[in-house]
Every structure is written in structure tokens, then in C-alpha cells.
Amino acid sequence: MLSGVRFVLWERTEHHHSRFMHVACTSPPEKDNTHDHSSTSTDVETGRPDDRRSDPRRQAGENCRCVSGSGSDVVAAFWQFARSAHRTSGAEISRDAHVEKKVAAGTLKPIVSGLKFFYRVTCPRDWPSLRAVRIPKSHKLPVVLQRDQVRLLIESTQLLHFRTFFHVCYVCGLRLGDAKRLQPGDIDAERGQVLIRNGKGGKDRIVPMPLATIELLRRFWKTHRNPHLMFPSRSDSKGIHATTEPMSDRGLQRAFQVVVIEQQFAKLGVRLHTLRHSYATHLLDEGVNLKVLQQYLGHKSLQTTEIYLHLTRQGDEQARRIVNGLLAESPPIMITGESTAPH
């Protein structure tokens, strides 16, 4: 392994808008033999070879720097787990991180992709087992709330900025990142719509926004008058009026979980993204076309949107009536041994 390198794992790069994790060595080489895998480092104080730094597991654990992003904490935990468990192959690390650390398959996939890129391109190492790693696909249906349950969660939120944020997430079906980056100029009050900039995959899209929500945002904006953001950070030293930092993901998620626990919805597995799932399902219940819903949600593939067909009640009641009517007028089938005599 390299001596004195840092592993930088990006979920998103400036030039690549996919969720592929790019791994690179950022420490400048001091000598020509920096990329010599057999070289060893020397302890500055004693002048002796530093076996600790030459240990790949130690480097992987201590020299890992996780850039901020939705998966940064998972990446840090991933490397820490790999070091402490003394895994010898990429397959063991990937398998155990998925099973023992309860890492979701969708979160683990870009991490494994980053590992494969690192050991195949940046720091080549022959790990045949790493090439054989396959992340199991998840087929779980998302959790969906009823309309009155969504209304209860939003109205039970005490602080105005959190309540307004949750309201916007639901009525527009926005991801957390899309909603917190909203700018006052993105809202078109005349047309009743909002422009979502640089969404997932680096795509822009237009989403309808209720007029009542536009009026709510007008009143909310007057409480901070930040020209850059609709939901500015309240912890920035520049002040809420001048900051260019949005509200933090962790603060928003924690605030939502507080309300979820208070209303006893925790056992359902409700989280902030559940508002988006509920939005999509409720629109399908009202007969919104699946292709239109795909555009609202910003899905690249229609198959991603089709998962909500398993959750909607549209057509389900009519289908149940038809099923109940099958052979309804036929005489009952007699079972051998049944007594037909009155009791």
C-alpha cells in the first residue's frame, strides 16, 4: 500500500453527476518511489521503520477522509469496521458490512464500486474475491402514510421552520436535498410551480406547487429575508439573513423523528423520505398519470415510479368487487360428508 496517502471517497464529483464513488490519492508524492507498494515508511522520532503505517488495514482505517455527503458516515463506519475486524478480502468486508452493520444495499453499492475502482485503477491489488462481490437487490415496498397521518405529523411540529419544510416536502414530493436548496427565485407564483435545480443525477425539473403553499412560503420568508435560500441555516455565524448554508440534513431528520416518536409512528419505520412516498401514492390514488408522476419525482426510469403501483388503491376497490362477483350466482358446491339436514 502507499505510504502517507489519504483515501478520498466522493459520492458526487464536479464532472460526474452519478452516484459512482470516485477514489483518489490526494497526498502529493514526496519521492519517486511513492507508488512503490513495497516501500516502507519511517518513524520521524525514532528513525526506525514504522510497521504500523505500512499495515494496509491501519492505513485504510486512519488515513480515510470521508467528504461530506449522504453516505459519508457510512463510508467512515465501513472503513473502521474493515480495520477492526481484520478482514483479508474485499468480499468479506462487503458481506459483513451489509449483514453485521445493517447497511442498506443501496448505500453499500457505491461504496463497493469505490473500493473496486481504488484497487483496480488507483492502487492496483489482486483481489479476485472483490471482483466477485454482488450486492443483493432489495425488493421492499416503501412505507406510506394516510393523508390524515401526514397532516397530523406536520401540524404537530412545533417550530415554524421545520413545519414549513415538512409541508413543502410533502405537497411537492421533494427529496430532502431538493427542498433545503430551494431559493426564493425558484418559485413561480403566477404559474403555481417551482423549479428544482440540480436534483438527483444533476437534472432540473419543474414541480407544481399549491397556491396555499406559495402563500405560506411568502409569510415564512419574511421571518428571515435571506436572499439566497428559502430554508437558511440557523447556526451559521453569518446570521440567518446572510448565510449561504441551508439547514442541515441531520437537524431536519432529527426534528422529524421527534415528531414521529411523539405521534407513535416509529414502529412503522416512518422517516422524512416517507413524505415523498406518500405524495406519490396519493397522486396515483387520485388518478394522476404514471408518466406525469415520473416527471414530478424526477425519476430517470419509469420502472422506479412503478413501485408505487403496488401501494396505490386506484382500481383496487373495483378489482375486489369483480373478484367477489366471480361465480357469485352459482349454486354452492356441496362437500362430501356435509350434512344438509337442518340442525
Give the catalytic positions in this structure.
Answer: 175, 200, 273, 276, 299, 308
7 forms beta bridges with 25, 64
Residue 5 and residue 59 in contact, taking contact as beta carbons nearer than 8 Å? yes
Angle between the N-to-C axes of helices 147-155 and 249-262, in degrees from 0 to 180, rounded to the nearest 10? 110
CB 206 within 8 A of CB 196: yes
Task: Report the candidate in 181, 184, 39, 218 with the shortest Cα–Cα distance to residue 123.
Answer: 39
How many CB atoms sit inside 10 A of residue 58's CB? 15
Which residues touch 226 (CB under 8 Å, ≥6 apart)? Answer: 232, 240, 241, 242, 243
Under a CB-based contact definition with an 8 Å cutoff, are residues 161 and 220 in contact?
A: yes
CA distance 243 to 228: 8
- The helix/strand/coil state of 16 is coil
